[in-house]
Amino acid sequence: MIHDNLENIFLYEGLNPNFGLAFKHLSATNFAEMQPCEYFLNENVKVIVSLTEGHLADDSQVELHNDFIDIQMPLNTVETMGWIARQNLKNASVPYDKEKDIAFFYEKATDFVKVEPYEFVVFFPTDGHQPCIAEGMIKKVIVKVKNI
């Protein structure tokens, strides 16, 4: 997991061949006025602008992806995101769906980070994550980058 701000994207661009494109798009796009939508930058990078109701940590589930890396960036509010190591996830509440590249788990995150608007968090396939912990509506950007 990485937690940082857009000023430091140059530190991470070399971690995946598509990170440069993803981070440049995050930096150059005015998401504040965008309505919820989904679109592709290329076959390996999908952008999701979402508006989601926040919830309590006890009411949310840990999720995990195998094929894609998530770059998540809240736009309008502080969002708490939880983390747990993949190897500690044993009890799936929703088994892995290959088409959607997601599984959900009964276990809860072991660590939490408060992410300010326009900061980002990168969750790799080794990172179970518990997003959308906040009060009210969360507008955020999720960039799904193929794990190459």
111-143 tens-digit pLDDT: 999 999 999 999 999 999 999 999 999 999 999
Question: What pLDDT score was predicted for residue 71?
Answer: 98
Domain that holds residue 140: 2-146
pLDDT of residue 31: 96
Give the count of domains, the chain.
Answer: 1
Q: What is the pLDDT of residue 36?
A: 98
As a whole number of angstroms, the distance between CA 89 and CA 72 comes to 21
Question: pTM for the full model?
Answer: 0.96
Model pLDDT, residue 21: 97
CATH classification of the domain holding 77:
2.60.120.370
* Cα distance between residue 107 and residue 81, in whole Å: 14
What integer pLDDT is reported at residue 138 of this predicted model?
A: 98
- Confirm if 125 and 147 have CB atoms less than 8 A apart: yes
Low-confidence stretches of the chain (pLDDT < 70) are none
